[in-house]
Amino acid sequence: MNFKRPNFVIDVITSLTVLAFFLLIRISGTQQSYQTTGVNSRDDRFLMSVKPIPDSISHKKYIHLLDSAKTTQRLQNGEFGNLIRTNLGNLIATSNALECDNCFSLRYLNPSRGQVTQDVYYLDLPGWTLKNPVEHHQSYDLSMFYVKNDTGYIRGFNKDKPVKFRYDHKTGHVLIPVAKSNWNTLNTIFYIVRGVAVLWFIYLVICSGLFLRRVSKGLIFTKSNLHTLLVVAATLLALPVLKLGLNYLLRFIFSNYFTTDLMVNNDIYTNLWMLLFSGLVVLRLYQAFAAGKQLKEDQDLTI
């Protein structure tokens, strides 16, 4: 059986791309991440130990004080008001928050006692999160990670484990502390990369518009149309593969901060299958157009 070489190569590339992406997702998805949407009983007990709440109060007052304790703990953890500044495809971002190591109330700060908030700056890694420890048998809460004396700790049964990274309980993201000067430099680099990405997107839109215009005029099997289909297919296929690959590259770059307590956050890969499927569809269209172009050229030669 004879195969046309271009079509056979495309089939091989398509199959290998799907297989590689599937295997990487399976490898990275052996565990699942968990996040809380509210305060659970374990969280309540921990927060009450940080900021005791009397029992002889109304439920409304109890909820108010519990929220205050939660805010205080997030302030001490250096994650209060954490705000994303620049974001590259939900892969890496810059963010900053407020921190106060010895604050016990956001409302009644006392500068004379050293209770002053300060800005802290992070690299936000949405692709990584804390594991759900087997010994806890439940989802994340504020008792699992805390900051004391500018050092992060993961709670354990016998001994708390110090770590270099930070953790945002609200988003479930791993945070890498950086100096403000480095943070500003990274912001500039990220803006440039985002600008290039926007220009590339505009280029794809223009190419797609010209493609539709040529097709509407009956110019179907042309070299320009093949080029447009190939560029769009390559972009759609490259995005999920690059995202997964770059996420592990970040793991390598910040290996000094990473411990076995971290895992891949599978939530960021939810929509990547749609990009991969769309890329395969466009690649098949390219294959069909290439075959049509070759057939048209063969007919022109016979005439």
Do 107 and 169 belong to one domain?
A: yes
For residues 58 and 124, membership in a common domain is answered with yes
In a shared domain, residues 163 and 48: yes
In a domain, 154, yes or no: yes
- The answer to whether residues 171 and 47 belong to one domain is yes
Q: Which two tokens stand for residue 85?
A: 């500044």
The tokens for 116 are 């002053």
In a domain, 201, yes or no: no
- Residue 184 located in a structural domain: no
Same-domain status, 146 and 251:
no
Q: Taking the CA atoms of 122, 128, 129 and 135 in sequence, report the sign of the dihedral they define.
A: negative
What are the residue ranges of helices labelled H in the chain? 5-28, 41-50, 59-76, 180-216, 223-253, 272-302
**Cα separation of 246 and 230, whole Å?**
23
Among 116, 150, 178, which residue terminates a domain? 178
One domain for residues 25 and 91:
no
Phi, psi at 165, each rounded to 5°: -85, 175
Sheet holding 151-154, edge to edge: 145-148, 151-154, 161-163
User: Residues 6 or more apart from 133 whose CB is under 8 A from it?
Assistant: 144, 156, 261
Whether 47 has a pLDDT exceeding 50, the answer reads no
Task: Inform me whether the pLDDT recorded for 32 exceeds 60.
Answer: no
Span 155-166, pLDDT tens digits: 777 788 899 999
The pLDDT value recorded for residue 13 is: 57
Same domain for 250 and 173 = no
Q: Is residue 18 domain-shared with residue 63, that is, in the same domain? A: no
45-49, 145-149, 253-257: which has the highest mean pLDDT?
253-257
| Domain-embedded: residue 185 | no
The answer to whether the beta carbons of residues 230 and 238 sit under 8 Å apart is no
Residue 25, in any domain of the structure: yes
**Domain co-membership, 10 together with 56:** no
**pLDDT number for residue 34:** 34
User: If pLDDT is split at 50, 70 and 90, which confidence band does 151 have?
Assistant: confident
Per-residue H/E/C for 16-73: HHHHHHHHHHHHHCCCCCCCCCCCCHHHHHHHHHHCCCCCCCCHHHHHHHHHHHHHHH
In a shared domain, residues 168 and 240? no
Q: What is the mean pLDDT of residues 4-30?
A: 53
Among 23-27, 44-48, 105-109, 206-210, the least confident range: 44-48
b/e sequence 236-253, b meaning 16+ C-beta within 10 Å:
bbebbbebbebbeebbee
* Pairing outcome for strands 173-178 and 92-99: unpaired
Domain boundary residue, one of 150, 178, 206: 178
Average pLDDT over residues 181-195: 92
Q: Which of 120, 151, 178 is the last residue of a domain?
A: 178
Cβ atoms 288, 226 nearer than 8 A: no
Compute CA distances 15 → 230, 239, 258, whole Å: 17, 17, 33
User: For the chain, how many structural domains are there in total?
Assistant: 2
List pLDDT tens digits, range 245-289: 899 999 999 999 999 889 888 777 777 888 888 889 999 989 888
Q: Find the domain containing 260 and state its range.
A: 5-30+221-302
Do 10 and 51 have their domain in common?
Answer: no
In whole angstroms, give the CA distance from residue 157 to residue 47.
18
Mean pLDDT to the nearest integer, 204-213:
91
Categorize the per-residue pLDDT at 42 as very low, low, confident or very high, splitting at 50, 70 and 90.
very low
Q: Is position 121 within any domain?
A: yes
Asked if residue 49 belongs to a domain, the reply is: yes
Whether the per-residue pLDDT at 59 is higher than 70: the answer is no
Residues 237 and 144 in one domain: no
Return all residues near 230 (Cβ < 8 A) that are at least 6 apart: 286
3-state secondary structure of 146: strand
Tell me the C-alpha distance between 36 and 141, whole Å. Answer: 7
pTM of the model: 0.69
Compute how many other C-beta atoms are within 10 angstroms of the C-beta atom of residue 130: 24
213 domain-assigned: no
